[in-house]
């Protein structure tokens, strides 16, 4: 049974999240933490393995940018450093990708602490730099985004299409989840722990402001439901607006990808694709069956579209193909 705690933010939710991560690091006795971070010389915030809690001063899990799906980095670190005690701060699509990777590949995460955080959506990479310049810093841009947490994403069209149609912005299957959506984040945020043993291990009663206000928890859950309904409508609109020229089934998608060769930007960016290729008979070619599994394993993180030099709306295309595959699987 999960437990929910409250953290008072004193007007600065980003600093409160950093302070919480610091306390978690200390209580868990970690060797490192994988978390989006930046420094004063860099405007791009990317997942970094921090090995000193003092480096959390540059941590920014709320940055509205996803340059890479961090699930692949978690899997790589788990393979290369199997004995280390690490934590990873993941957004919802990264959390889903890690679940899929664990089903496709045997990785041991016994020593890992998975920390999810509500995703407030992210901008396309090409827009991020000028938004940082306009805001004055990465921190300022993240704080601006946090202001809208209570109502959900404002002006959704500004964000990546994958974010606009994400039905589950809350990070699931994590040991700890930092809740932001629907909350007055300048006053308080919520923290869910997967079970009582996690709460006791991390001493949540000591590192938070105490048990959550039930009214805040209700606000959080109600907004998640509203966002899901709103984004379902957005997704349907995107599906209806797809051009006739883009693939509508798995055969056409495979043909498109073969026609794009040797460009592999979208495939290299996908956290799932390489695993399906590795599981193919020759270890190099994606079979039709593997392509179907790939479609069904897609976590809609949008890394493919972000990487595509032709701006192909791949998340929407894949969503339509998945729906068609699912329809074919339903017995008549």
Residue 199 placed within a domain:
yes
Angstrom CA distances, 166 to 46, 218, 251, 316, stand at 21, 21, 25, 11
d(CA 71, CA 85): 17
Residue 235 placed within a domain:
no
Which of 204, 230, 256 lies at the terminal end of a domain, its last residue? 230
Specify whether 91 is located in the same domain as 211. yes
Q: Which residue segment(s) compose the domain that 253 sits in? A: 240-329
Specify whether 170 is located in the same domain as 226. yes
pLDDT given for residue 328 in this prediction: 74
Q: Provide the 3-class DSSP secondary structure of residue 36.
A: strand
The pair phi, psi for residue 112, each rounded to 5°, is -95, 140
pLDDT given for residue 279 in this prediction: 66
Residue 318 placed within a domain:
yes
Q: Provide the 3-class DSSP secondary structure of residue 53.
A: helix
pLDDT given for residue 332 in this prediction: 47
pLDDT given for residue 327 in this prediction: 80
**Residue of 303, 293, 296, 285 lying closest to 319 (CA atoms):** 296
> Structurally, how many domains does the chain consist of?
2
- Inter-residue contact 156 to 227 (CB < 8 Å): no
- Residues whose CB is less than 8 angstroms from the CB of residue 170 and which lie 6 or more positions away in sequence, other chains included: 92, 116, 118, 119, 177, 179, 181, 224
- Inter-residue contact 3 to 199 (CB < 8 Å): yes
pLDDT given for residue 264 in this prediction: 85
- Inter-residue contact 296 to 122 (CB < 8 Å): no
pLDDT by residue for the chain (332 residues), tens only, comes to: 568 999 999 999 999 999 999 999 999 999 999 999 986 555 567 899 999 999 999 999 999 999 999 999 999 999 998 889 999 999 999 999 999 999 888 889 999 999 999 999 999 988 998 999 999 999 999 999 999 999 987 777 899 999 999 999 998 889 999 999 999 999 999 999 988 899 999 999 999 999 999 999 999 999 999 999 999 999 999 999 999 889 999 999 988 888 887 888 999 999 998 887 766 666 667 788 888 888 899 999 999 999 999 889 999 999 999 988 888 766 54
pTM score, whole prediction: 0.93
**Residue of 97, 102, 130 lying closest to 304 (CA atoms):** 97
- Inter-residue contact 152 to 91 (CB < 8 Å): no
Specify whether 102 is located in the same domain as 155. yes
| pLDDT tens-digit readout, 10-66 | 999 999 999 999 999 999 999 999 999 986 555 567 899 999 999 999 999 999 999
Specify whether 38 is located in the same domain as 78. yes
d(CA 317, CA 319): 5
Residue 204 placed within a domain:
yes
Which of 178, 208, 230 lies at the terminal end of a domain, its last residue? 230
d(CA 146, CA 183): 10
Specify whether 256 is located in the same domain as 224. no
Specify whether 205 is located in the same domain as 154. yes
d(CA 143, CA 155): 16
Which of 195, 230, 265 lies at the terminal end of a domain, its last residue? 230
> Edge to edge, what strands does the sheet with 112-117 contain?
3-8, 188-193, 176-179, 112-117, 86-90, 32-37, 46-50
Q: Provide the 3-class DSSP secondary structure of residue 268.
A: helix
């Amino acid at each position: 049974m999960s437990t929910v705690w409250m953290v008072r933010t004193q007007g600065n939710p980003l600093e409160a999240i950093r302070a919480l991560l610091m306390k978690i690091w200390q209580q868990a006795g970690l060797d490192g933490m994988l978390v989006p971070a930046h420094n004063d010389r860099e405007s791009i915030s990317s997942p970094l393995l921090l090995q000193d809690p003092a480096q959390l001063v540059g941590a920014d899990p709320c940055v509205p940018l996803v340059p890479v799906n961090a699930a692949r980095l978690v899997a790589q670190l788990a393979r290369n450093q199997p004995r280390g005690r690490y934590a990873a701060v993941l957004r919802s699509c990264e959390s889903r990708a890690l679940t899929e990777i664990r089903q496709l590949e045997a990785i041991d995460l016994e020593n890992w602490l998975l920390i999810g955080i509500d995703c407030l959506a992210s901008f396309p990479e090409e827009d991020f730099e000028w938004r940082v310049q306009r805001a004055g810093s990465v921190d300022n841009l993240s704080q601006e985004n946090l202001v809208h947490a209570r109502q959900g994403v404002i002006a959704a069209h500004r964000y990546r299409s994958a974010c606009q149609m994400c039905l589950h912005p809350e990070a699931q299957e994590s040991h700890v989840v930092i809740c932001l959506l629907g909350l007055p984040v300048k006053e308080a945020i919520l923290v869910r722990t997967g079970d009582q043993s996690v709460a006791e291990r991390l001493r949540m009663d000591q590192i938070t402001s105490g048990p959550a206000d039930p009214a805040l928890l209700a606000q959080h859950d109600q907004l998640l439901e509203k966002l899901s309904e709103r984004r379902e409508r957005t997704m349907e609109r995107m599906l209806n607006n797809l051009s006739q020229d883009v693939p509508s089934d798995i055969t056409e998608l495979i043909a498109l990808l073969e026609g794009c060769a040797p460009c592999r930007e979208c495939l290299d960016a996908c956290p799932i694709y390489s695993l399906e290729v590795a599981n193919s008979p020759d270890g190099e070619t994606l079979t039709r069956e593997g392509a179907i599994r790939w479609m069904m394993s897609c976590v809609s993180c949008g890394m493919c579209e972000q990487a595509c030099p032709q701006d192909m709306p791949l998340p929407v295309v894949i969503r339509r193909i998945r729906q068609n595959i699912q329809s074919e699987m339903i017995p008549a």
